[in-house]
């Protein structure tokens, strides 16, 4: 299975809410051969690290594609740019964030020829805004590197992280 994390805390130029932006972006990924199979509940989440920026909306999508991880990440970055993502401030506010979380359990360090994504996402195990929606889709998921269950990873999260399900 392939999982994408999506999040935003600013409206985009084309849509009035971060959630509308994210839903449209995932639909647009279909043009790159990335098919959405399922989506978690949507969550309202505090910024990590805690700051005075607006709260985020986050979800996780299960997708399928024939693209390899490098091409998939390139497609995600292309859609982010089309939706107004400007890379700059780390952990800053954003109109869109599309992350490749897990690509069929593959482990990659991103080094060497054709670098590309580190897999699984190097910080997914530290983030309530990823783990809670991921558990909605894959309650039996285990971390490909550590073998830790998703429930164990959630239990080990910093209690300062706030993530609560949004209404439909």
From the list 97, 102, 127, 135, the catalytic residue is 97
CA angle 108, 110, 111 (to 5 degrees): 115
The three-class DSSP label of residue 15 is: coil
Residue 136 a catalytic site member: no
> What string of DSSP letters covers 22-82?
HHHHHHHHGGGTEEEEEE---EEE--SS--SSPPEEEEEEEEEESS-HHHHHHHHHHHHHH
Token readout for 49 is 């690290």
Give me the catalytic one of 19, 94, 127, 135: 94
* Catalytic-residue membership of 41: no
Specify whether 164 is catalytic.
no
Catalytically annotated residue among 19, 85, 127, 135: 85
99 in catalytic set? yes
- Point out the catalytic residue in the list 28, 66, 87, 99: 99
Catalogue the active-site residues.
Answer: 85, 94, 97, 99
């Amino acid at each position: 299975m392939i999982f994408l994390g999506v999040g935003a805390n600013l409206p985009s130029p084309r849509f009035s809410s971060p959630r509308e932006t994210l839903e449209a972006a995932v639909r647009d990924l279909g043009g790159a051969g990335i098919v959405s199979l399922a989506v978690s509940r949507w969550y309202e989440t505090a910024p990590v690290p805690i700051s005075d920026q607006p709260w985020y909306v986050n979800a996780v999508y299960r997708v399928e594609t024939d693209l390899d991880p490098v091409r998939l990440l390139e497609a995600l970055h292309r859609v982010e740019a089309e939706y107004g993502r400007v890379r700059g401030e780390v952990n800053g506010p954003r109109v869109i964030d599309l992350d490749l979380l897990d690509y069929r359990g593959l482990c990659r360090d991103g080094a060497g020829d054709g670098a590309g994504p580190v897999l699984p996402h190097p910080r997914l195990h530290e983030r309530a805004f990823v783990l809670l929606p991921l558990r909605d889709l894959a309650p039996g998921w285990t971390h490909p590197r550590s073998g830790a269950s998703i429930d164990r990873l959630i239990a080990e999260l910093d209690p300062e992280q706030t993530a609560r399900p949004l209404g439909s």
